Amino acid sequence: MSETDAQADVTVVLPDGSELDVPAGATVEDVAFEIGPGLGRDTVAGKIDGELVEKHAEVHDGARIEIVTDQSDEYLTVLRHSAAHVFAQALQRLHPEATLTIGPPTDEGFYYDVTDVDLDEDDLDAIEDEMEAIIEADYDIEREVRSREEAKEVYADNEYKLQILEEEADDEEVTFYVQDGWRDLCQGPHVESTGEIGAATLLEVSAAYWRGDEDNDTLTRVYGTAFASESDLEEHLELREEALERDHRKIGQEMNLFSIPTVTGPGLPLYHPPGKTVLRELSDFANELNREHGYEEVETPHVFRTELWKKSGHYENYKDDMFLLDVNDEEYGLKPMNCPGHATIFDQQSWSYRDLPQRYFENGKVYRKEQRGELSGLSRVWSFTIDDGHLFVRPDQIRQEIESVIEMIFEVVETLDLDVEVALATRPDKSVGSDEIWESAEEQLRDVLESGGYDYDVEPGDGAFYGPKIDFGFEDALGRVWDGPTVQLDFNMPDRFDLTYTGEDNEDHQPVMIHRALYGSYERFFMVLIEHFDGDFPLWLAPEQVRILPVSDETLGYAHRVKNELEDAGFRVEVEDRDWTVGRKIRAGHDDRLPYMVIVGDDEQEAGTVSVRDRFENQRGDVDLDAFVDHLVAERDEKRTEPRFVDAE
């Protein structure tokens, strides 16, 4: 390479879309100084093509660059990464025998996996005290570059760090971060000094597998969190406490919704009658939406020959996560996705351009062999159901069908009073399809979002290898965001399955396949709703909608007549006939998260009326039963989110 070539500029793209020429070999920090000296001085880290990197990371030609300062959303991630190092240093001050493995930041804080030391919850206070001392000392956090061979010498007795150096350190030089003489192998980024960590705390101790693989060593994982200020930490801990109270596993047990007993196997939930009632209502709602929008229901088996998974590409990409079995010397696999079955259904017929779009839906059970250490309640399981939809469309129909899918998703969002975050995920480096198809597809998705007035983020390079997508994240009552619905364009599977339709020119053409889900998976969506509503489901979803409380045995017969009236109108009703006081029955009803309780005594029996109490502890007496039934019907059919009768006329 000539000296001229070596000094040639590279062009980077800034967040506003403008371009900036910088010398070859420039770093994120150099880019920041080119933009302005103030920004250069404030730079903590950066993002290259969406990936968070240290400020010393070298940029490349065409890179999309974002500068991270202490005002950026990503700053908290950087600060928590440094807090993980503070924890590790504090631990080794108190327990020099401890062996460190990895300690990344997370959405909620950080964790560090360690071994060769026995830790439990009682040890955390002492480690926290040592962390506070390190933070108060305000040690500089300095980047240190060493050769990979030198790093191996440093970690000659640490098999875990050696594995990282062998498998992940591609360059001959690696980086350490050093504070007060203590160092850890790390790519960064980090804050400038330990004093920038305004507040940190340790939360819990658990077991974890090295690299999340249950066949590897079991390590000790310590979770913590950190913020720039004590007030931010206190606010977070209050929200965390509320989140623990709303935990779907806790509420699921209290309401008898589901269980995941050890005897059935990990990640395999059992739905009890109340839980299945909620799922059935959600399924009926989704099925109704699907039919209204022209979808036809299909059904595919739980297991296929692996020939199908090889054809679709899932065998190559999902084999390690699939449940495989041998039947008569032939390999089969439990399905990890429904789409190959739907593509095969489409392939069984000949289609004209006039027949498209074809829209299929299925509440299809799928199976993925997640690592046991990653399983958590209903949020991550081995067996789950996707409210799957697949559309086979002409290229000119993409926009119209995407608009229709988004309309369906927002009907779900608005019906359940949820908020969503929207993101457009664009072409990754590894992808299939022509530039023209990708550009057209991304532009159509972008136009749909902008013409619809949706606020959305762009996730560069985060699309599927077979096409761009729009992702929706459900935001719950505590502001947490969970993966939810998605709309994906797929040019790969139609090609792999050689799907065609006859065009207007009487030639074969390849359809575009759209993957979509309104909930995501029923399991995760159920989890979101349990925690979002704190178990206080809207009337239409509530497992038990009305409970009738007779004041005495003398009014028990009238209570059952009221029950019959409500059941005839299609409601789920029980009579509380235990020998309890009315006060105790009311307390039990509130504990059971009932939308409504109906109290009937001598006066109600004589007048043929009821006394109604809602979950907000509002009560009205002398209510005409027909009027109450009419209210319930309207509240259920309109899918209102707050059961409230007192305000009704």
Is the same domain home to 60 and 82?
no
CA distance 531 to 521: 16
pLDDT at position 306, please? 93
Domain assignment present for residue 82? The answer is yes
Residue-wise pLDDT for 386-445, tens only, equals 999 999 999 999 989 999 999 999 999 999 999 899 999 998 877 777 788 788 888 888
Domain assignment present for residue 620? The answer is yes
Is the same domain home to 64 and 164?
no
pLDDT over 90 (residue 168): no
**pLDDT category, 3, cuts 50, 70, 90?**
very low
CA distance 527 to 279: 11
CA distance 114 to 112: 6
Is the same domain home to 394 and 492?
yes
Last residue within a domain, chosen from 47, 68, 89: 68
Residue-wise pLDDT for 553-609, tens only, equals 999 999 999 999 999 999 999 999 999 999 999 999 999 999 999 999 999 999 999
Strands, E, within 528-594: which ranges?
546-550, 573-575
pLDDT at position 487, please? 94
pLDDT over 60 (residue 26): yes
Is the same domain home to 519 and 590?
no
Instruction: Tell me phi and psi for residue 559, to 5 degrees.
Output: -60, -40
Sign of the CA dihedral running 613, 619, 625, 627: negative
Count how many domains the chain has: 4
pLDDT at position 262, please? 87
pLDDT at position 1, please? 36
CA distance 405 to 515: 10
CA distance 65 to 583: 63
Are 22 and 58 in contact by the 8 Å Cβ rule? The answer is no
Is the same domain home to 56 and 198?
no
CB within 8 A of 107, min separation 6: which ones?
none
pLDDT over 90 (residue 332): yes
**pLDDT category, 2, cuts 50, 70, 90?**
very low
Instruction: Tell me phi and psi for residue 541, to 5 degrees.
Output: -100, -20
CA distance 525 to 415: 14
For residues 527 and 50, the model is more confident at 527
390 is in an annotated binding site: yes
Mean pLDDT of all residues in the chain? 91
Structure-token pair, residue 561: 């007549």
pLDDT at position 33, please? 95
Domain holding 191: CATH number?
A: 3.30.980.10
Last residue within a domain, chosen from 471, 494, 524: 524
Bond before 15 cis per omega within 30 degrees? no
Q: How many residues does the chain have?
A: 649
Domain assignment present for residue 648? The answer is no
A 10 A CB-CB count for 178 gives: 16
CA distance 132 to 143: 22
Domain assignment present for residue 123? The answer is yes
pLDDT at position 298, please? 97
Is the same domain home to 560 and 488?
no
At residue 35, the 3 state secondary structure works out as: helix
CA distance 174 to 150: 9
Q: Considering the entire predicted model, what is its pTM?
A: 0.82
At residue 89, the 3 state secondary structure works out as: helix
Domain assignment present for residue 320? The answer is no
CA distance 151 to 459: 35
Domain assignment present for residue 489? The answer is yes
pLDDT over 50 (residue 22): yes
532 is in an annotated binding site: no
Q: Among 520, 522, 523, which residue's Cα sits nearest to residue 380?
A: 523
CA distance 617 to 223: 39
pLDDT at position 463, please? 85
Query: Which of 64-68, 150-154, 243-247, 634-638 shows the lowest mean pLDDT across its residues?
Result: 243-247
CA distance 240 to 578: 37
Structure-token pair, residue 251: 């509420």
Are 516 and 391 in contact by the 8 Å Cβ rule? The answer is yes
**pLDDT category, 646, cuts 50, 70, 90?**
low
Give, to the nearest 10 degrees, the angle between helix 522-532 and helix 273-292: 110
Query: Which of 202-216, 327-341, 535-549 shows the lowest mean pLDDT across its residues?
Result: 202-216
Bond before 266 cis per omega within 30 degrees? no
Are 514 and 488 in contact by the 8 Å Cβ rule? The answer is yes
Residue-wise pLDDT for 264-314, tens only, equals 888 999 999 999 999 999 999 999 999 999 999 999 999 999 999 888 888
Is the same domain home to 631 and 491?
no
- Residue 80 is part of which domain span? 75-235
Mean pLDDT along residues 136-145: 95
CB within 8 A of 572, min separation 6: which ones?
277, 542, 543, 544, 545, 546
Is the same domain home to 622 and 495?
no
Is the same domain home to 584 and 478?
no
Domain holding 59: CATH number?
A: 3.10.20.30
CA distance 215 to 321: 14
Is the same domain home to 350 and 460?
yes
302 is in an annotated binding site: no
Structure-token pair, residue 541: 């979803």
Residue-wise pLDDT for 461-505, tens only, equals 888 877 889 999 988 777 778 889 999 988 888 988 999 999 999
Is the same domain home to 346 and 490?
yes
Domain assignment present for residue 382? The answer is yes
Instruction: Measure CA 630 to chain center.
Output: 38
pLDDT over 70 (residue 373): no
Structure-token pair, residue 142: 């300095």
CB within 8 A of 256, min separation 6: which ones?
272, 273, 274, 275
pLDDT at position 649, please? 46
CA distance 128 to 131: 5
Are 185 and 347 in contact by the 8 Å Cβ rule? The answer is no
Domain holding 357: CATH number?
A: 3.30.930.10
Domain assignment present for residue 540? The answer is no
Last residue within a domain, chosen from 40, 68, 96: 68
Mean pLDDT along residues 191-217: 91
pLDDT over 70 (residue 170): no
Is the same domain home to 428 and 555?
no
Domain holding 606: CATH number?
A: 3.40.50.800
Instruction: Tell me phi and psi for residue 599, to 5 degrees.
Output: -100, 130
